Amino acid sequence: MFLLIACKANTLTKSNTEQSPLGLSVEYIREPQEVLIIDQKPEFAWELPNTITAQSAYQILVASTQEFLEQDQGDVWDSGKVVSNQSIDIEFKGTALKVGNTYFWKVKIWDEKNKEAKYSAYQSFKIGTQKNFITSANKFQIEKLNPVEFKKLSKDSYFLDFGKDAFATLEFNYKTKIKDTLIVHIGEQLIEGKINRKPKGTIRYQKIKVPVNPTQLSYSISIKPDKRNTKPMAVKLPDSLPVIMPFRYAEIENVKENLLAKEIYQIAHFGFWNDKSSSFTSSNSLLNKIWDLCKYSIKATTFSGLYVDGDRERIPYEADAFLNQLSHYTTDREYAMARQTIEYFMEQPTWPTEWQLHVALMFYADYMYTGNTELIEKYYQELKHKTLYELSNEDGLITSENITHELMLKLGFKEGYKKPLTDIVDWPSAGWGGDLNNLGERDGYVFKKYNTVVNAFYYQNMKIMTEFATILNKKNDAKDFKLRTEKSKKAIQKEFFDEKRGVYVDGIGTIHASLHANMLPLAFGLVPEQNVKSVVDFMKSRGMACSVYGAQYLMDALYNAGEAEYALELITSKAERSWYNMIREGATITMEAWGYKFKNNLDWNHAWGAVPANIIPRGMWGITPKTPGYSVVNINPQLGSLKTCSIMVPTLRGQIKGEYILQEDKIKKYIIEIPANMKAEFKVNKTSSIKVNHEIKANEAGVIYLESGKNFIEIFN
């Protein structure tokens, strides 16, 4: 069983009509009444009921009291009837909101036939003080979990399995007749049925003494803080939270009285989360287990309010955070944590060259999934430096060797910081931690002054900045970034592509070609169509010669190239480098590396290992926003040999749902459900015959255009 704490009803009262808007949010937060909204011009959003297909107009009321709102009076803001289909990212435009005050809001809409609906249920929100950030932090969530397994090991000791690893503490009821001391062991790993007391790497274990006495019934263990993940650079948890540690198992010793499973709880801490926001199942049982592992990994690692690198340091790193962000978007309708983490990086950068080049990727993902431009507007000048464009040569290539003290300061590094930017490619390096048997995860990458991987990221940054400058009407910048994009693409092909072998080498001055030097250009659309086959063939020869981080770009590259079956083969592999290996070793949150032999200080709670949580929706099902804020969605299923499959993906506008079955006659059948106020472009093979809602459709463009609601698609190859 579990008890959800700090999760109240989304609204204060219920609407009396199915036509009313639902799923309201303020500043991308679904239950704003329990947080402080620090943006004094917050954005409102809502979902449309599935009884309509589109919105033609809306009216928002914001009131200073609940009573005013009940009388349909917006004394703070009455937008009036606004003729628009916009239902997300609507900025407050009323009387100035005051810090410390609580406000109430609701919205009504007109449908596609201009029929007026009733007002939605209403929400309250409180305005907090704005400091450096503009993003409001979401609340924490606590689940009180009983053990799924409880057994007696001896006359005075018990074993407990809570089913999954979680950042948690332990509480229990125990009635004793004498003063005594219980011994509690908590940990992440088992050896021969008992908690591993001496785990390797950063796998967690702790022994805790709990004094008990006749006058007390309820107890909480006191976990000792870890010296490393409580250093100044670590993300500090709120004072209201106890010391927590990731653990799945507990053993309780010196038990002389009755101990009941129903009175023992793992007090698990998460960021705000809704398990029902997303789902996936298929005819491949292993794939289903991998999805469950990866989805839960995203939930479990939200405990700090920012995307951190697991439990060893609890420090945000840009690449880790970007992978977290993508997977968070595809598993829950939550955007505040990504936005908070983006703002964190503007003041707290980390040292790898490519990590700086991930910041623009985070901004772009936020923009595409929310449609909001506030972060781009606020940080545009600082973001320009994060792209490292100031390091480029005349040909359009960059090198970290050109880094200057002045640029380090512009990136956000503080005066006195000594470590320079360093190309990383992948992690860990060969011989990491003094283990000479560790070959590393770089596929033998040969580092040169100008590296292919770094410049592939730089090219993607220039594309993004071209779009951002255009959005902000910075015409000269847009022209400059467009030129840099073109120069970068031309130089990468000229300097790094080996025409004879049809592959990309690692850098200028080496003939060595690695998986990384080829998957990054393919992931970012740099490979000319005539070279895709040779690049893919080379990548296939290397297999999964990358880390759990590198797997993100390997999978992106494969799905970009239409290599669905090979991608599925890698995702469901049972080799040492596989998500199955994490399950096989006993982890319930994804590991920092494929296994101990690949990183000898790995932890068992690292969300950058949860790539399938976003690759299954984004790659396998091809569900991505075509336009900012998901007004139009791309759907490009590449399901390989799967016989059946279903998926549910959250968006600000509602859930996108897909069902698939491959019939014995090879006819592919889909049911695609699109939320109201959204359209879809469903990609198909141009040579296929298509029926949509039982009518034959022309297919010259290889795209079927779908409206809101359920769409029945049959594809005859």
DSSP for 14-73? --S-TTS-EEEEETTBS-GGGSEE--SS-EEEEEPPTT-S-EEEEEEEEESSHHHHHTT-
Q: Does residue 9 register a pLDDT over 70?
A: no
* H helices present in 498-633, as ranges: 515-523, 532-542, 550-560, 564-571, 579-585, 612-615
Lowest mean pLDDT among 1-15, 84-98, 303-317: 1-15
Band of the pLDDT at 430, cuts 50, 70, 90? confident
Give the pLDDT of residue 345. Answer: 97
| Percent of the chain's residues with pLDDT above 90 | 90
Q: Does residue 1 register a pLDDT over 50?
A: no
CA pseudo-torsion sign 312, 317, 322, 323:
negative
Residues β-bridged to residue 679: 632
- Nearest residue to 203 via CA among 592, 607, 594, 610: 592
Contact 307, 610 (CB under 8 A): no
* H helices present in 387-474, as ranges: 405-410, 452-471
Query: 222-246: per-residue pLDDT in tens?
Result: 999 999 999 999 999 999 999 999 9
Lowest mean pLDDT among 238-242, 293-297, 577-581: 238-242
Contact 552, 358 (CB under 8 A): no
Mean pLDDT of the region 404-413: 96
The residue ranking higher by pLDDT, 10 or 687, is 687
Instruction: Name residue 204's amino acid.
Output: R
Query: 666-700: per-residue pLDDT in tens?
Result: 899 999 999 999 999 999 988 888 999 989 887 77
What distance lies between CA 400 and its chain's CA centroid? 28
Q: How far apart are CA 125 and CA 140, in angstroms?
A: 16
Query: 126-177: per-residue pLDDT in tens?
Result: 999 977 889 999 999 999 999 999 999 999 999 999 999 999 999 999 999 9
Domain 144-271 adopts which CATH fold?
Jelly Rolls (2.60.120)
**Token pair in block for residue 522:** 């393919």
Give the pLDDT of residue 12. Answer: 39
356-to-33, 290, 382 alpha-carbon distances in Å: 35, 30, 12
Band of the pLDDT at 437, cuts 50, 70, 90? confident
The residue ranking higher by pLDDT, 687 or 271, is 271
Residue 294 burial (10 A CB sphere; 0-12, 13-18, 19+): buried
Mean pLDDT of the region 109-134: 93
Q: Does residue 308 register a pLDDT over 60?
A: yes
Contact 516, 505 (CB under 8 A): no
Give the pLDDT of residue 700. Answer: 76
Q: Does residue 594 register a pLDDT over 60?
A: yes
Give the pLDDT of residue 18. Answer: 63
First to last CA, the chain: 48
- Nearest residue to 440 via CA among 659, 629, 261, 600: 600
Mean pLDDT of the region 208-229: 97
Give the pLDDT of residue 400. Answer: 97
DSSP secondary structure letter of residue 578: S
The residue ranking higher by pLDDT, 701 or 659, is 659
Long-range pairs of 76-81 with CB within 8 A, sequence gap ≥ 24: 76/103, 81/57, 81/110
Give the pLDDT of residue 7. Answer: 35
Contact 142, 132 (CB under 8 A): no
Contact 327, 614 (CB under 8 A): yes
Lowest mean pLDDT among 63-67, 236-240, 359-363, 695-699: 695-699
Q: If one looks up domain 2-131 in CATH, what number appears?
A: 2.60.40.10
Q: If one looks up domain 628-716 in CATH, what number appears?
A: 2.60.420.10
DSSP secondary structure letter of residue 612: H
The residue ranking higher by pLDDT, 440 or 247, is 247
CA atoms within 13 A on the CB side of 74: 19
Band of the pLDDT at 438, cuts 50, 70, 90? confident
Average predicted confidence (pLDDT) for the chain: 95
Give the pLDDT of residue 94. Answer: 96
- Nearest residue to 207 via CA among 199, 627, 585, 265: 199
**Token pair in block for residue 617:** 């929706």
Q: What residue spans define the domains of the chain?
A: 2-131, 144-271, 353-550, 628-716
Q: Does residue 480 register a pLDDT over 90?
A: yes
Q: Does residue 8 register a pLDDT over 50?
A: no
Q: If one looks up domain 353-550 in CATH, what number appears?
A: 1.50.10.10
